[in-house]
Copies of this chain bind each other. A is one copy, B any other.
Amino acid sequence: MKSFTFWNYTRVVFGLEAEKELPSYIPLLGKKVLLHYGVGSIKKIGLYDVVVKALKDAGVEWLELGGVKPNPRLSLVHEGIDLCRKEGVTGILAVGGGSVIDSAKAIAAGVKYEGDVWDFYAGKAQPKETLPVGVVLTIPAAGSETSGSSVVTKEEGQLKRGITYDILRPQFAILNPKWTLSLPWYQTACGISDMLAHVMERYFTTVPHVELTDRMAEGVMRTIIHQAYRLKENPDDIDARSEIMWAGTVAHNDLLGTGREGDWTSHGIEHEISGIYDLAHGAGLSIVFPAWLKYVLPKRTEKIAQFAHRVFGVDYYFDNPEETAREGIRRLEQFYRDMGLPVRLKEAGIDGSRIREMAEKTRDGKRPVGSFVQLSTDDIEHILTLALE
């Protein structure tokens, strides 16, 4: 086990009437709140009215900035920062999924920073202070509701970059599975793919003596997969929605990463795909992950076999662990297919013409990529080629 620090201070309120607690949490955002949301689905499902009433009940001033799109854009973040400064905003209430929350975190950090907020994402500066952020979650996926992570896309150069700092964690997160009932199936499936990836990327490590987090991660993965099938069968199953929603948070609150060194290569490669093609993040992950596993399998057979055995119940072949590992990857791929997700680039309408470019951008110049297995640009190109068709 590696040394670590763990600090997750987000207050979680979970339940079928969770937003009733909202007025008592809003004051954590100060006296003037920016209500930040997406392209309007919160109005369709009636959540906007609930939140506005809570803001009134809390007795705070508020203004709003909607329009966050999937793969949130830097330009809207800049707009939010200007607005907050001009209006003297004291805190941000993000109502939506990961994109809205990530955008809110970027604004919250940018307001308190003299330079360009993109400096954080380009690795040129670290946020030291932020406005407080609160969350009402509508899409279980990114885990951003309690994580310190934020991913933003800079339109110029189609650069999608993520950062993680404890001070970016929201002050509170309201989780009501009811608001996820109206999600279209594809979006539900993409969220499931994202949370599963968050666990897998912590799981596949070379750090030894991590049984505790291994076994917890395996339990979370088994649950996500099982409950996903239940939900596919009946998208109105509120119990399965509940399990999936809480799993999405647990997958990325970083407890499962304690004492380990994760490998975020798949997320990195996927960011280049969805940065260029504007594919849903979860659909990019279902394409990248099996290809990445196939490519690293010869070097890390035992851990992938453990995954196959403990998560998918594949027999462990003592005389041929590779067979076990391969069968695990096959079942993972089958799981994605069963959820209606693409597992090849071509299935998502993407050809091979920009594979080299994506491989180069993943490396971002000279950054080393990968800890489970370190990868060169050529390796990443191979993985994307495996993922092609």
Contact = CB atoms under 8 A, between A and B. Distances in A.
Given A1-B14, A212-B246, 18 more contacts: A4-B12, A4-B14, A5-B14, A5-B21, A6-B12, A6-B14, A7-B9, A7-B12, A14-B258, A211-B227, A212-B247, A214-B219, A215-B223, A216-B216, A216-B219, A216-B220, A217-B219, A246-B258
Nearest to A255: B255
Interface string A253-277: 0010011000000000000000000
Interface string A226-258: 110000000000011011001100100001001
Which of A1, A7, A13 has most chain B Cβ within 10 Å?
A1
Given A208-B239, A216-B220, A226-B211, A4 B11 contact: no
A153 to B, nearest CB: 31
Contacts of A215: 218-220, 222-223
Nearest to A239: B209
B209 A242 contact: yes
22 contacts: A1-B243, A1-B246, A3-B16, A3-B17, A4-B14, A5-B11, A5-B12, A5-B14, A6-B12, A6-B14, A7-B9, A7-B10, A14-B258, A209-B243, A211-B223, A211-B243, A212-B220, A212-B227, A212-B247, A215-B218, A215-B220, A216-B219
A2 interface: yes
Interface of A: 1-18, 21, 208-209, 211-212, 214-220, 222-223, 226-227, 239-240, 242-243, 246-247, 250, 255, 258-259
Contacts of A214: 219
Contacts of A216: 216, 219-220, 250
Contacts of A250: 212, 216, 255
A2 B177 CA distance: 12
A312 to B, nearest CB: 14
Contacts of A6: 11-12, 14
Given A215-B223, A219-B215, A226-B211, A1 B255 contact: no
Work out how many copies of this chain go into the complex: 2
Contact of A11 (B7, B217, B227, B255): B7
A141 to B, nearest CB: 16
A8 B243 CA distance: 20
Contacts of A4: 12, 14-15
Contact of A1 (B5, B209, B242): B242
Contacts of A21: 5
A11 B11 CA distance: 14
Nearest to A245: B1
A388 B209 CA distance: 39
A215 B251 CA distance: 13
**6 tightest Cβ-Cβ pairs between the two chains A and B:** A3-B15, A215-B219, A9-B9, A209-B239, A6-B12, A7-B11
A3 B15 CA distance: 4
A7 B253 CA distance: 12
Contacts of A246: 1, 212, 258-259
Contacts of A17: 3
A217 B215 CA distance: 9
Contacts of A211: 223, 226-227, 243
Nearest to A222: B215
Contact of A13 (B5, B18, B208): B5
Nearest to A20: B3
Nearest to A17: B3
A243 B259 CA distance: 10
